């Protein structure tokens, strides 16, 4: 199914896989992430509602990847992955870097988040690029 030239099923699949990658990374590294970020179960208490927003992020990223892949005319999974790399570097990672530069967070936190950012954009771009 296509809407304005975008494959909706590819976007949904990419978003689901991107969400799964994030869940795997942050579940596997939850103790390290919490220690580096200073978040504890007590400080997060009452904020659990925020987790309901988490599916929005990969959906927006997957749609943005689809737009960029279409505009770029990128073909195949390698073309999509290339677009995903540049989107991750120039937009998502660059935005994330602001938080690191202008705060006192630990470098390891940036490393975990950067691994997540690049993994989901590369895989999401590959899925969307491959599924024409």
Sign of CA dihedral 77, 79, 81, 83: negative
pLDDT tier at 7 (50, 70, 90 boundaries)? very high
Q: Has residue 23 got a pLDDT over 80?
A: yes
Name the pLDDT band for 81 (thresholds 50, 70, 90). very high
Residue bearing tokens 């925020």: 50
Q: What is the pLDDT of residues 26-76, one digit of tens each?
A: 999 999 999 999 888 898 889 889 999 999 999 999 999 999 999 999 989
* pLDDT category of residue 106 using cuts at 50, 70 and 90: very high
Report CA-CA distances (Å) from 114 to 1, 6, 41, 74, 78.
32, 27, 24, 24, 21
Q: What ranges do the domains of the chain cover?
A: 2-130
132 alpha carbon, distance to own chain's centre: 21
């Amino acid at each position: 199914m296509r809407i304005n030239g975008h494959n909706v099923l590819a976007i949904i699949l990419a978003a689901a896989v991107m969400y799964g990658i994030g869940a795997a990374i942050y579940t596997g590294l939850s103790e390290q992430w919490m220690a580096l970020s200073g978040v504890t179960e007590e400080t997060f208490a009452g904020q659990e509602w925020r987790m309901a927003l988490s599916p929005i992020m990969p959906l927006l990223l997957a749609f943005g990847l689809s737009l960029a892949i279409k505009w770029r005319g990128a073909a195949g999974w390698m073309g999509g992955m290339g677009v995903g790399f540049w989107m991750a570097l120039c937009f998502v990672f660059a935005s994330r870097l602001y938080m690191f530069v202008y705060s006192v967070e630990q470098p390891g936190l940036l490393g975990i988040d950067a691994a997540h950012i690049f993994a989901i954009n590369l895989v999401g771009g590959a899925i969307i690029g491959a599924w024409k």
